[in-house]
Amino acid sequence: MNKLKTDLNLIWNDICLELQKVISKEAIEKWFVPIELLSIENDQLLLKAPDPIYQYWIEENYLSQLIGASFRILAKNPKIIFAQESPGNGEKATGKKIKSLPREDKSSIFESKGLNTKFSFENFVVGPNSEFAAAAAKAVAESPAKAYNPLFLYGKVGLGKTHLMQAIGNHIVEKNKWILVQYVTSEQFTNEFIEAIQKGSIGQFRKKYRQIDVLLIDDIQFLAGKERSQEEFFHTFNCLFDGSKQIVLSGDEAPSSLQNLEKRLISRFEWGLTAEILPPGIEVRLAILKHKLKNYSLSIDEKILEFIAERIKTNVRQLEGALNRLCAYASIHKEGKITLEETQSLLKDLISLQPSKTITIEMIQKRVCEAYDIRFSDMVSKRRISAIALPRMVAMYLARRLTNLSLSQIGENFGGRDHGTVLHAQRTISEKMSKDPDLAQLIKKITEQLTSSQ
């Protein structure tokens, strides 16, 4: 297989994985796995289908989802084009029955139990922004239901929550093949629950989710407002927890900040450990790009990688999407080479989305002082004042979230404190936020004030 075809296969696999968040695994295996990505050129994805009925069915039922998934991977809105081929064996497209592919013919990225072997702890790039969450995830993977139960991972979109959850499942299955693991998004859980009610198969649904050993449920915030799904998940949670089964959840906010979820659910989410994943700093972003680049048979100048890392700051998925776009362009047009000028042109729409000004640590300190009605001089002093302890930890926490400064650099701005103090503050505030909705709301308000002023 030549280099270009390998790169295109990797991109198509990534698109299929993104589709798996909004389309059932069965539909993807039936309609998308047999598709081949032939080229990416002039904002067009050229696809090859084994039979015209695939094109018809995708365009009629899944076109918007395919465009959306392609955008999230390539960071551009593509036009979907199918290469025109007549059906083989003289059969009419409309008369050919589509059969489920044999297991051995299916792409290796679709594993049973919702797991994708692409995600592991080894290929998760750990930085100060994610080291606590990664350590907690590894502990759970090593000792399911004994370390932290439940484990609740939270953070904004595209920071690695799904990667860590999948890594937990893959590690457990690799070590203990007899353990039954199920990964599912809350949307998939809800859709399956509704389908079970409609088909009268609720008993089978409950057997699937209540007789497993490890449940990994992603994007739990999408259960908001779905009363019957919340009721069903509440009893599923209790059944698994009471049976000493491991539960791992993820959300975009700390449990106490989740809206339109029953209090009894939020309370259970807080029984174990909550761990936040923050946006990565510049060093981690650069490391992620270098690691992702290993999947391609290309060499991109480090100055170009630095250019991307400096400008795409808050979303790892968007960072990887930018690199995918460059690699696709370089593979097709430039024989593996690309210039900084071409990079700037190719990524101008992404770069324009980034904040034009940087939030400074002094801006954070002043906002926190205003919120707590304390003096700035006390915030940055070396003195240990009990009344200042919490506001100072809040300011350190926000500095970790909103700046690219190292732990030591942040500590230096708070009276010369060391990196351990800052790390302790980050973990303390993350834990407090999961149990104190007022604190979580205050920090959210300060964050919005700082980011909206940019």
Tokens 């709301």 -> residue: 441
**pLDDT reported for residue 402:** 83
Question: Do the Cβ atoms of 43 and 290 come closer than 8 Å?
Answer: no
| Regions of the chain short of the pLDDT cut 50 | 1, 86-112, 353-356, 454
What confidence tens digit (pLDDT) does each residue in 402-438 have? Answer: 886 777 788 889 988 887 888 888 888 888 887 788 8
Architecture category of domain 361-452 in CATH: Orthogonal Bundle (1.10)
For strand 246-251 and strand 273-276, is the pairing parallel, antiparallel, or unpaired?
unpaired
- Domain limits, the chain: 3-88, 113-276, 298-351, 361-452
Does residue 162 have a known ligand-binding role? yes
**pLDDT reported for residue 245:** 92
Is 3.30.300.180 the CATH classification of the domain at 3-88? yes
**pLDDT reported for residue 336:** 58
* Structure token pair of residue 156: 């904004």
Does residue 207 have a known ligand-binding role? no
Does residue 160 have a known ligand-binding role? yes
Tokens 């919490």 -> residue: 390
Q: What is the fold of 298-351?
A: Helicase, Ruva Protein; domain 3 (1.10.8)
Q: What is the fold of 113-276?
A: Rossmann fold (3.40.50)
**pLDDT reported for residue 369:** 93
* Structure token pair of residue 380: 């940055």
Distance of CA 85 to the CA centre of its chain: 37
Does residue 415 have a known ligand-binding role? no
